[in-house]
Amino acid sequence: GKVGSLTVRNFFVFDLGGLIEPLGSLSLNIASTGSYITPDTEETVTFRSYEGDPGFLINGSFGLSNYADLGDGTVYASLTVDTPVADVSAPMPAVTISLSEAAVAAVNAIIAAPDDPGDANDKLFAFGGELVTAPASTQGLWFVDSGPGAVTLTGTPAAIPLPGALPLAAAG
């Protein structure tokens, strides 16, 4: 979001350890545990890829280049949400956002990569978010509680094609 001329970005980090099958789709689910502070009647949030080490985000040791990376990667999704009441801190509705094929490909690359016992972050998937409302907005913040279940990532398994001979065998 924006606080005066300062751009504020957020990030999401998910542990994909234990997943072994590729996914066909992904959704980001944000519970209604947050609130808005905005003079606007709607806010648009964009989620982008993050190419840095997710461990830096988790432990807070990232610098300006990692911060910039949260806002300049491949777009994974964009969503415009109506704000309930302008100029007042109001409850945020729960939202579900379908993530792009690029996000699915990034997750599947992490799933397919061999485990690296020396890298505790090798199975982490991270991406950034930013409110990108029109420049006329002087302030816009979107708060979400980071407690358990506040933000989840859900996926559906990728379709597995049948072997070529199987349909023929079924036909008789």
State the Cα–Cα distance between residues 108 and 104, nearest whole angstrom: 6
Alpha helices, DSSP H, located in the chain: 54-59, 64-69, 101-112, 165-171
For the record, the structure tokens of 130 come out as 């930013």
State the Cα–Cα distance between residues 121 and 12, nearest whole angstrom: 14
State the Cα–Cα distance between residues 143 and 16, nearest whole angstrom: 25
Higher pLDDT, 36 or 11: 11
Mean pLDDT of the residues in the chain? 79
Q: 3-state DSSP call for residue 60? A: coil
Which of 2-6, 36-40, 99-103 is the least confident region? 2-6
**How would you list the strands of the sheet with 42-49, edge to edge?**
9-15, 124-131, 42-49, 75-82
Q: Provide, rounded to the nearest whole percent, the portion of the chain with pLDDT above 90.
A: 31
State the Cα–Cα distance between residues 135 and 162, nearest whole angstrom: 51
Higher pLDDT, 118 or 31: 118
- Overall pTM > 0.85: no
pLDDT at 92 over 60: yes
pLDDT at 36 over 80: no
